[in-house]
Amino acid sequence: MKKTFIWTLALTGILAGSCTKLEPEFYSQVTPENFFQSEKDILAALNRPFTHANWYLGEDRWSLQEYTADNFAITTKGRHWYNGGENERFHYHKWTPDEGWIWGTWRGTLMGVALALDTRSDLEKLDYSRFALTPADKDAHINQLNTLMAYFYLRGLDYFGGMPIFNSLDQESLPRNTDEEVFKHIESILKEAMTKLKKKNGGETEEGVLKQAAAASMLAQLYFNAEAYIGKPMYQECLEVSKAIINNEYGFYALDDNWSGPHSFTNDRSPEVIWSSPSQFNRLQYNWFYSRFYHYNSRQYFNTDMGADNGTHLTPSRKPDGSLYKNVFSLGSPFETFDDGDLRKKPYRFLGNGRYEGMFITGAHLSPSGEVIKGGEEYKDQPLVFRDQVARFSEVGPGKKYATVADLPSRMSDGEENTGVRPVKVPIPPLSENTLRWGADNPIIRLTEIYYMLAECKWRTGDKNGAAELINMVRKRNFANQEDPNPATAANLDAQRFLDEWSIEFLAEGRRRTDLIRWKMFTTGAWWDHQPSGSAHLNRFPVPTEAISGNNNLAQNPGY
């Protein structure tokens, strides 16, 4: 065996370019055959690529999906968050191949494939009977790794189009495969995995293990967005796979009775979660979002000791004068897209014993005991009140920059410390129940997505009543006594309603750009402080400069 089991994280080929040669350092001549001494060793190796996936799910990938779309922004807030214009470039669709978020995503995607492939090559050599494990156990492990590779290729296809397909770690400077080749590669992996992975039994908790329904869900996602990926609509194929998942052909799942169930501290027990990334305090932590969303003084609101950077917020629903942007733009305005009676629209409040209500920070910022939380920048020593607006309200008045509110502009450069509604999709416990911190796992695929995909496929293939029925099966749990004041119907369920439904149900879950592209609105739609670019090449990100500089066989995407 020429390579060692232990790799340096440099992984020079994959990180410096594309799928180029990965050079290990030879610390020893340990081989898989003598390294693995127990089932515990096998599981430790199996879990390593999933640790990378846990990191990959947030950070730059979330940024590319959400800051380029209509629901989120990082406005410049006085002296904070201009960031060299990075946030504005993504909001205005003016990114370049030199962006860190894009390089981190290209690099992270191919590293994920490499780590899974490396582990697979080791496990394939093992005689599982030595560890009292069966051929079915080995098949499940190998196909978990295959499915994880398919997941990374699926995300790469979504972000960049064709990616280099590699089957060993000693292939040098590979060119990009075509979109169609990557599509078929993903499809073939998932079809096999759907027969060899294990099924989830009723009542089982979700622990991050990839099972049949996860592979089937990824196949449905591939077909769902096939028109964007390869120019071929495959909604009927998506419909068939989605229906089979809902009918429990790939394991037992059900919609959660409560809107918060798939996101709560105990969401590993939610029957809705098909695949999640485990989170645990001081170990793997689903915490990347915390510092981005919340104000420096929000620690008083949550009654926690964690700091925050006060960056990200929802795009505004209202102009500085208080009127609605929904009367101007069909996209964006995420907070006001929620019905007023929606239980999620309440301010987030921890109720004790792991229970909470609401999903937003908006209005007056108060501690759990009702004390007024004060600002530290534009509103230093004044009550902090979060607005669903973007403007420099602190600069209005006699002798100030703006005479009246009517004079205020509302742009990416016009934020303040209290700008924007902040989502609390992941619950934050107070110090008194700190053992719950990061207890909520990151739900990557949940059954609601399958219901919504099936609904959209039915709608696109002519069954509008069937589509509305599926949407309403989910919507009703968001209202008191399950009484929905605005259910979907065949008459009102149009393209705009679908975009709104995807927005409110999956707000902050890192998918909005993909949905806008599927509906052909990403480069043609307008939203707050964003005019359509009209350039379809922006539906894909460029191959990063750093990747091409390390592998001159890589072709750049058109338009860059």
pLDDT at 15: 39
Residue 147 has pLDDT above 70, yes or no: yes
pLDDT at 19: 41
Rounded average pLDDT over 159-181: 94
Residue 25 has pLDDT above 50, yes or no: no
Neighbours of 464 (CB within 10 A): 19
Cα 294 off chain centre by: 18
User: What would the DSSP string read from start to end of 543-554?
Assistant: PPHHHHHH-TTP
Task: Quote the DSSP letter at residue 442.
Answer: E
Longest Cα separation, the chain: 82
Amino acid at 477: R
Residue 33 has pLDDT above 70, yes or no: no
pLDDT in tens, 407-452: 999 999 999 999 999 999 999 999 999 999 999 999 999 999 999 9
Are 141 and 42 in contact by the 8 Å Cβ rule? The answer is yes
Are 537 and 557 in contact by the 8 Å Cβ rule? The answer is yes
pLDDT in tens, 88-108: 999 999 999 999 999 999 999
Are 171 and 119 in contact by the 8 Å Cβ rule? The answer is no
pLDDT at 6: 34
Stretch among 112-121, 283-292, 458-467 having the lowest mean pLDDT = 283-292
pLDDT at 27: 42
pLDDT at 326: 93
Smallest Cα–Cα separation from 164: which of 150, 181, 148, 147?
A: 181
Q: Domains of the chain by range and CATH? A: 1-197 (1.25.40.390), 201-286+446-493 (1.25.40.10), 291-437 (no CATH)
CA angle, residues 41, 152, 36, in degrees to nearest 5: 10
pLDDT at 30: 54
Smallest Cα–Cα separation from 19: which of 123, 145, 152?
A: 152
pLDDT in tens, 232-256: 999 999 999 999 999 999 999 999 9
pLDDT at 32: 67
Rounded average pLDDT over 54-71: 96
Smallest Cα–Cα separation from 294: which of 315, 275, 317, 311?
A: 311
pLDDT at 96: 98
Instruction: Give dist(CA 329, CA 311) in Å, integer.
Output: 24
Rounded average pLDDT over 364-390: 97
User: What would the DSSP string read from start to end of 461-475?
Assistant: TT-HHHHHHHHHHHH
Instruction: Give dist(CA 432, CA 95) in Å, integer.
Output: 44
Mean pLDDT estimate for the chain = 93
Amino acid at 140: A
What pTM was estimated for this model as a whole?
Answer: 0.94
Rounded average pLDDT over 346-353: 97
Write out the two tokens for 522: 């990403």
